[in-house]
Amino acid sequence: MQRKFLTNLGLLLLLNLLIKPVWIFAIDRNVQIITGVVDYGFYFEVFNFSFLFNILLDLGITNFNNRNIAQNHQLLNKHFSAIVVMKLLLSLVYVLVAFTVAFFLKYNPAQLKLLAWLCFNQILISLVLYLRSNISGLLMFKTDSLLSVLDRFLMIVFCGILLWGHLTVTKFKIEWFVYAQTAAYITTALVASLIVIKKARFRKLNFHWPFFLAIMKQSMPFALMVLLMTFYNRLDPVMLGKLLPGKLGDKQIGIYASGFRLLDAANMIAYLFGVLLIPVFSRMIKHKQSVEKMVKLSFTLLITIAVIVAISSVFYSYELMDLLYDEHILESARVFRLLMGGFVAVSTSYIFGTLLTANGNLREISIISGCGLVINFLINLFLIPTMEAVGSAYASLITQFFIAIAQVIIVQKVFKFQINYRYLFTLFLFILGVVIFNILSRQLSPLWGGIISPAKTWFPNFVLMIFFSFGLAGVLKLLNIRSMARILREDN
């Protein structure tokens, strides 16, 4: 199982590293630059608002289904037809609730129009994720890997044509960005549907009320867990928009979005670990196999990357924001370093939270997430009026570390893993070493005098720091190439 995890993780990372950085830096970044921080902030608030209620599209069905199909492949044919009908009905509920709350919050006509398209996109995203849960549950990781980047690849093509194809003389509008996403999601949903329909031997749609109730009963714990996690992860921009008036709110949301963009890119890596580990952990737990080695392997790989990314982002926050944007650089850098500081916590949660989910410890996750939501809301409420976007970044940082620490404690209580103090000391040395490399790298600029312009001397320093940090991980055997090569040679 470790071999299957490593080989498919490698493919998944390769595909995503080829496609998604292009989307984030060439497309999403340029859309914000062209439309401006205020218009993009307007979009980003409504987008995150539409995200708050997307659990109503699913009610935990996708997480439940992924775990269930991984443990019982034969259930795909029985469940697929009825669940598709359920998701269509849930889509109507989602739209009704989203617009009711939007009217209550006094969203203006422009916001409501954009919300309609974004709600449709959320419906398509939810459908794609459900379809992919069947594919990954069947352990068809290569197919799922290709589907995971198909939507972004299509968006790059569509948005690239709109941005640089000179099809119109009109300046690029934020609405076109949304329409391009819609076209990409529709295409991806159709491709995924054809794959699952073939595997499920699908004949026709059926709605069976007792089955609906049975699935709801089993998936509701997943729904509560996802709802709470969604709120504490997506609440910041919405609260910025509601606590700060008019254009100031849109501007601060735009600044927050600038700082959030690289975190979103980094989260892509952590998310991929979670996608692979849910079916892997679920199957191992069902067959009563020890998960300790798999947890250590996945956590070590991810935390090594996370520590390097997070610490280097803190030390080079201004330079990275200056590289990406032309305005509000200092404000974006302050937000960015706080958000990226929480990436270590986010990565930890993707390993230990996934393990708890696969083991069915949903009550514990829901309690932790509920506490995280309260913490996030109260800190935002207190800090936003005075610190604006930086206050929201502090709320995110504190919340993510609370969630991660709580999940690690629960995992230790449930699984009773043997505490490896030597391993923990090695992690401490690695973190300390990366911090030292970053400090030293900031002092190297005089070495490049006359070779590189003063404004760009930070980049070779940054590259050297990354190189030595990964080298340290190898020396400390956190990244043990021989060990991974041995795993890849195993037959099972």
The predicted-structure confidence for 393-417, as pLDDT tens digits, reads as follows 999 899 999 999 999 999 999 888 8
CB 176 within 8 A of CB 40: no
Closest CA to 255 of 34, 45, 24: 45
Backbone angles phi, psi at 442, to 5 degrees: -70, -15
Please count the CA atoms within 13 angstroms of the CA of 366 that sit on its side-chain side.
13
The pLDDT score that the predictor gives to residue 124 is: 93
Question: 428: which 2 tokens?
Answer: 């401490």
Most confident among 164-168, 290-294, 461-465 (mean pLDDT)? 461-465
The pLDDT score that the predictor gives to residue 206 is: 67
CA 141 to chain centre: 18
Bigger pLDDT: 133 vs 406 = 406
Q: How far separated are the first and last CA of the chain, in Å rounded?
A: 6
Q: Which residues contact 103 (CB under 8 A, 6 or more apart)?
A: none
For residue 236, name the pLDDT band (cuts at 50, 70, 90): confident
Closest CA to 301 of 326, 324, 278, 270: 270
The pLDDT score that the predictor gives to residue 65 is: 66
Question: 38: which 2 tokens?
Answer: 């205020």
Residue 323 Cα distances to 25, 29, 190, 438, angstroms: 11, 11, 38, 18
Residue pointed to by tokens 């206050």: 391
Residue 97 Cα distances to 92, 101, 243, angstroms: 9, 6, 22
In the 8-state DSSP scheme, what is residue 24? I
Q: Picking from 157-161, 394-398, 439-443, 482-486, which range would have the lowest pLDDT averaged per residue?
A: 482-486
Helix, strand, coil proportions of the chain in percent (round to 5)? Answer: 85, 0, 15
The predicted-structure confidence for 375-391, as pLDDT tens digits, reads as follows 989 998 999 898 888 99
The pLDDT score that the predictor gives to residue 492 is: 44
CB 333 within 8 A of CB 318: yes
The pLDDT score that the predictor gives to residue 156 is: 92
The pLDDT score that the predictor gives to residue 203 is: 63
Closest CA to 415 of 357, 356, 365: 356
Average pLDDT, the chain: 82
User: What average pLDDT does this structure show over 154-167?
Assistant: 86
The pLDDT score that the predictor gives to residue 491 is: 43
Q: Tell me the angle at which helices 141-164 and 174-200 cross, rounded to the nearest 10 degrees.
A: 160
Backbone angles phi, psi at 303, to 5 degrees: -70, -30
User: Whole-angstrom Cα distance, residue 461 to residue 208?
Assistant: 62
Bigger pLDDT: 82 vs 333 = 333
Question: 287: which 2 tokens?
Answer: 């067959």
- Would you kindly state where each structural domain of the chain is located, as residue ranges? 2-418, 419-492
Q: pLDDT > 90: what percent of the chain?
A: 25
Closest CA to 395 of 416, 414, 370, 378: 378
Please count the CA atoms within 13 angstroms of the CA of 404 that sit on its side-chain side.
19
Residue pointed to by tokens 């790059």: 156
Closest CA to 420 of 281, 290, 296, 284: 296
CB 273 within 8 A of CB 351: yes
Is residue 259 predicted with pLDDT exceeding 90? no
Residue pointed to by tokens 């963009």: 261
The pLDDT score that the predictor gives to residue 75 is: 61
User: Whole-angstrom Cα distance, residue 453 to residue 205?
Assistant: 64
Residue pointed to by tokens 């608002």: 49
Backbone angles phi, psi at 85, to 5 degrees: -60, -45
User: What average pLDDT does this structure show over 453-457?
Assistant: 63
Q: Picking from 29-33, 50-54, 174-178, 450-454, which range would have the lowest pLDDT averaged per residue?
A: 450-454
Is residue 354 predicted with pLDDT exceeding 70? yes
User: Whole-angstrom Cα distance, residue 182 to residue 277?
Assistant: 29
User: What would you report as the CA-atom Rg of the chain, rounded to the nearest whole angstrom?
Assistant: 23
User: Whole-angstrom Cα distance, residue 365 to residue 352?
Assistant: 10
In the 8-state DSSP scheme, what is residue 26? I
Q: pLDDT > 70: what percent of the chain?
A: 83
The pLDDT score that the predictor gives to residue 116 is: 94
